[in-house]
Amino acid sequence: MFGTHVTSLSRRDPGRPGIGAVFGAIVALLLLPRPGAGQLQIKPELRSALAARPHAEVRLGACVIDLATGDTIFAENPDTPFTPASNMKLFVMATALSELGSNFTFETIFATDGTNLVIVGDGDPATGDEKLHQHRGESITADFERWATILLDTGVSAIPGDLVIDESIFDDQWVHPSWEEGDLDNWYAAPVGGLNFNDNCIDITVSPSASRDAPALVAFQPETTLVRIINKCRSGGEGTPVVHHPPGTFEYVISGRCSKRWPFGSVSFPDPGLLFADSLRMVLENRGIKVAGTIRRKRLRLPDGGLPPSLTVLARRTTSLSNVLRRIGKDSQNLFAECLLKRSGYAWARRHGVLDPQGSWSLGRQAVLAFMRRADIDADGLVVADGSGLSRDNACTAGQLASLLAWAHAQGKGRLLYEGLSVAGVDGSLRERLKDIPGRVHAKTGTMRGVRTLAGYVDAEAGPRYAFAVLFNGYKGPSTPYKQIQDRICRVLAGSLTPRPGSE
């Protein structure tokens, strides 16, 4: 399926060919694309790089496609399924471009319905995302502050009714059943909702108090009444702070010792919509807008996806697909990938006449498989469990990844995928890699226990020239040797495009 392209001349009969046949063959050979001097050495150098893996029993798959010709110029186990880790995100990115279109935007509705304040979610993962807000020089609550200003500017200083949230764009399966229990407290396994805020996490920081053995000082964001901190951590002494979050609860138990400021980073919060709503309520109250009622869930979106005429829309918060792709491709932000997969599944279902669908992992899987058919890529061996690659049930082949990247390159809108990938030596998860050839590799990394994957593009001066995928599964110990092999392969590919002294 992914073999190297070879052009051969067949004999018309077993006898001696005529002069016309010989002349025709010579002309045909002269017209064939001629590989560069560097490209002729690629295969042995790539085989040498892969042979350097420390343990021969480690499973590997590799595929390289020349984007100028569409030919597969190197392949090793290209049709064997592997656990892809975060390389799974590439299928979601390509599917979204195909299913949603490059101009797609998530749109969260801020409205009133009689005496109630209403939020209708669209599965947007970016509200309150710290990295995107920092890039704009604003706080994570900046959107909520703008909404408060809209209310105040229209003379509203109190909400007599409830704060109503509609998350029905997605189903209510917030956590994937195949995610490992030990991962669920971490930001990368945050629950996935129709409304999301601060990546559905609580950011906790512990600092020592002035007196040894006194309770440590605990701070967290976003501001919310939902979180219950149980502080058992003491100031000074040996040891470090520890946070424990009992699954499914709003409790965060801090223990250990604290002798310096200690940011835990992001710890997942189990209810995305409730965190969104309560954080919004806190901002409104801090601005003097009291919500008299409660936070209440209610389905408002109509079966056709529209909004009921009773709503008065005050604002529409949007996030572009390009921003979502960048957070997925450069930073490997799992929540963004999961939301994009579910949203693509919702769009696919609506397009196929499903009445009143809700985005889900199941519909997202159907959207990916439909994309593979449209792109004419063989989906044998492809298993789509989730969108981020966190599930070990996912599987794909090196050939599928390279073919997907080649498809994206051939599409005008595929530029968004390319621009969304990490750039070697420049940004994202490849910032500290391949600094000797900065900017020459745009790729998506993938790492989990026993898995190291890399897939993307190697550039010539005029732009992408090779699509490649290199997958390792089943190693024990550190992944560094396999990362080094991947980097060596990128250097070989980049080197083949660099003119050698004296060459034409």
Count the domains in the chain: 2
> Which pLDDT score is estimated for 497?
67
- 296 lies in the same domain as 376: no
For residues 262 and 364, membership in a common domain is answered with no
Distance from C-alpha of 294 to C-alpha of 278, rounded to nearest angstrom: 10
Phi/psi class of residue 445: alpha, beta or left (left: φ > 0; alpha: ψ in -120 to 50)? beta
The residue among 274, 295, 322 that closes a domain is: 322
How much of the chain exceeds pLDDT 70, in percent? Answer: 90
C-beta of residue 267 within 8 angstroms of C-beta of residue 246: no
299 and 179 part of one domain? yes
Look up residue 16 and give its two tokens. Answer: 């001696």
At 461 the pLDDT is 75
Mean pLDDT on 413-432: 96
Q: Which position has the higher pLDDT, 6 or 58?
A: 58
- Phi and psi torsions of 68, nearest 5°: -75, -30
**Is the same domain home to 57 and 145?**
no
What is the band of 41 on the pLDDT scale with cuts at 50, 70, 90? confident
Contact 142, 315 (CB under 8 A): no
Give dist(CA 184, CA 267) in Å, integer: 9
Q: Based on the domain organization, do 435 and 421 belong to the same domain? A: yes
The answer, yes or no, to whether residue 29 has pLDDT greater than 70, is: no
- Whether 464 is covered by a domain: the verdict is yes
pLDDT of 281 above 60 = yes
302 and 377 part of one domain? no
Mean pLDDT of the region 378-402? 98
Q: Are 503 and 37 in contact (CB under 8 A)?
A: yes
| Residue 30 scores a pLDDT above 80 | no
Largest Cα separation within the chain, whole Å, is 100
Domain end: 259, 288, 322, which one? 322
User: Are 300 and 438 members of one domain?
Assistant: no
Q: Which of 294, 322, 350 is the last residue of a domain?
A: 322
Does residue 134 sit in the same domain as residue 71?
no
Predicted confidence (pLDDT) per residue in 319-374, tens digit: 999 999 999 999 999 999 999 999 999 999 999 999 999 999 999 999 999 999 99
Q: Which pLDDT band holds residue 11 (cuts at 50, 70, 90)?
A: very low
**Domain check: are 109 and 89 in the same one?**
no
Lowest mean pLDDT among 16-25, 204-213, 247-256, 375-384: 16-25
On whether residue 30 sits in a domain, the answer given is no
3-class DSSP state of 307: coil
Angstrom distance (rounded) from CA 438 to CA 442 = 10
Same domain (yes/no): 342, 480: yes
| Residue 40, pLDDT score | 55
What mean pLDDT do residues 442-466 have? 93
Are 62 and 153 found together in one domain? no
- The rounded distance, in Å, linking the Cα atoms of 295 and 366 is 34
Instruction: Label residues 57-87 b or e (16+ Cβ within 10 Å = b).
Output: ebbbbbbbbbbeeebbbbbbbbbbbbbbbbb
Q: What is the 3-state secondary structure (H, E, C) of 80-117?
A: CCECCHHHHHHHHHHHHHHHCCCCCEEEEEEEEECCEE
Does residue 13 fall inside a structural domain?
A: no
Whether 194 is in a domain gets the answer yes
> How large is the average pLDDT for residues 205-225?
96
Claim to verify: residue 382 and residue 302 sit in the same structural domain:
no
Q: Residue 32 domain-assigned?
A: no
**How high is the pLDDT of residue 42?**
87
Question: What pTM was computed for the model?
Answer: 0.90
Side chain identity, residue 288: G
Give me the CATH number covering residue 357: 3.40.710.10
Can you give the pLDDT at residue 413? 86
Domain that holds residue 183: 105-322
- In-domain check, residue 232: yes
**80 in a structural domain:** yes
**Which CATH number characterizes residue 238's domain?**
3.50.80.20
pLDDT mean over 270-280 = 98
Indicate whether 31 belongs to any domain.
no
